[in-house]
Structure 1
């Protein structure tokens, strides 16, 4: 479950927009309020807020978002308990508050509004409210057996790990079996295997590498594996020495029918990898001649 929190100034507008996004939004939590609509509740907030004229952002706005799977299982009683626990974790029990649930989208979520001004006229300290909201939501998720943010992040990492492995496997197959002669052929062969190779252009409008799109993920080549940087791909597909020298000299190259600017850093890396490969081939040929004799 994710928790988002901030202080706001326009209580009525924010509450009205959120409440009216879904017809007959279900109220799951109410504290020290009797109003039945955003306008009435805003007025009740204002009565208490009138004790503190210095505080301008005098309402706390929170959104609690369980995972899609958890949201499908939570009933009204559990949604109320989730909200109550969050309010307690944030130490906001003795303040006016209203919470309602949105089910109009696939991802169920709770909107919670709390009066930042207490009955004593003092304002609730909102420093680091975003981080504290997330931490409180994490504790509530753990208490109620819901999926925590850390668990969601771990699941995403595991999924990305699988995707990275698949992209690299396809890359190695294309390099070893299809033997592309240049980047254009490499991009074409990878696309035939459902991997989109996307030229990455920096703020200076220069090519700085490749990104790989696969199964809804988009990753930098070096994030897939260190062997999949653009310079290392150039080394593997056998870029000619002359082509490399031209890239270094002009800092341009032909790609997909266009002449593109190449970042100095990428041009230098390609040149270094190609020189390394040329030296290796020369050494290998020398060894081969020696064996034949």
Structure 2
């Protein structure tokens, strides 16, 4: 079972969503109303008991794994138990079952203000929710789902998923997870793994202690850096080793230090070029002039009508070899590091 919690300021909007007649039906709770309007009116009464609370809405969805199903009575029991163990015993709430997806799930909408006017504590609510859910899974014989912090591969947040759907393109998180998964299958040592990632445009950045001990790993793609733990447990330095990629300090430390030094140089170069940076949000169209290397990284020089700019080759999702074949072709780019190459500051470019 997976639980997702949200807090908000308005009851009517979330009630309209969960009680959409095409998606769900009311199966339980402690309130008299049945429509969004009736329920919102009841919630408004408790809101007056503590008007200073800016986000009185508590919304949680509880979802089963694909293939698992419960009846309404079982879901109602689970909703009551979840609310009591999360501290909402004295707060009004409703439970709504949705059948619009391939996994059985319910939504619970509650007031964070109890009938005594006190605010329900949200201290460590995510940890407490995980504990409650683990107990429900055990008692109802449900499949145990690893908590988000334990997941080998972290799922997209709702915002990341929405942006991916809007743009039609995978997010940097999705790209990094896919590339790392692919390269981990073909790497035996940490040095091999880092070099293979580099060929795919991904920079592995070790978090290194003074004695050379590696305490973590981050990854950079298209100018965006993410910690391994943000991608999932399987993408941390320890997680990579559990995939069968060996690390020996005497063999791999030099390669890790090289990566760290390259990243430091590139970061400094980025700082030096800040005043000459082209606005990254506006899309530009131009022809590929050449492919070059700056500080050990492949870049593409693009000639537009107004200026000549350079962008990381990885931002076009192509290898340097592929881009060299595209010299003279027109491309359209948006975002990423785009810097004028005709600024007075000198910069070493290896042709």
TM-score, normalised to structure 2's length? 0.47
8 Å CA contact 1:4, 1:134 repeated in 2: no
8 Å CA contact 1:2, 1:138 repeated in 2: no
Secondary structure of residue in 2 paired with 1:150: coil
Note the 1:120-199 alignment, pairs <5 A.
120-150=116-146, 168=185, 198-199=200-201
Matched, 1:14 2:8: no
* CA shift digits 1:70-104 (9 cap, x unpaired): 2xx21222111221221222132232110101110
Secondary structure of residue in 2 paired with 1:53: coil
Secondary structure of residue in 2 paired with 1:149: coil
Cα distance, 1:154 vs structure 2? 8.5
Label 1:227 to 1:134 Cα distance change in 2 as closer, same or farther (>3 A): closer
8 Å CA contact 1:3, 1:136 repeated in 2: no
Tell me what 2:245 maps to: 226
Listed as ranges, the gaps of 5+ residues in structure 1 are 173-182, 187-196, 207-217, 233-246, 260-293
8 Å CA contact 1:9, 1:57 repeated in 2: yes
Higher share of residues assigned helix? 1
Cα distance, 1:131 vs structure 2? 2.7
Aligned CA RMSD, in angstroms, stands at 4.4
Listed as ranges, the gaps of 5+ residues in structure 2 are 154-176, 189-194, 204-218, 224-233, 253-291, 299-318, 325-351
Looking at structure 2, the residues matched to 137 and 97 of structure 1 have their Cα atoms a distance apart, in angstroms, of 18
Matched, 1:56 2:121: no
**Rg larger in structure:** 1
| Structure ranking higher on relative contact order (CA contacts 8 Å, 6+ apart) | 1
Secondary structure of residue in 2 paired with 1:55: coil
Label 1:257 to 1:18 Cα distance change in 2 as closer, same or farther (>3 A): same
Aligned length: 204
TM-score, normalised to structure 1's length? 0.55
Tell me what 1:28 maps to: 27
Label 1:256 to 1:113 Cα distance change in 2 as closer, same or farther (>3 A): same
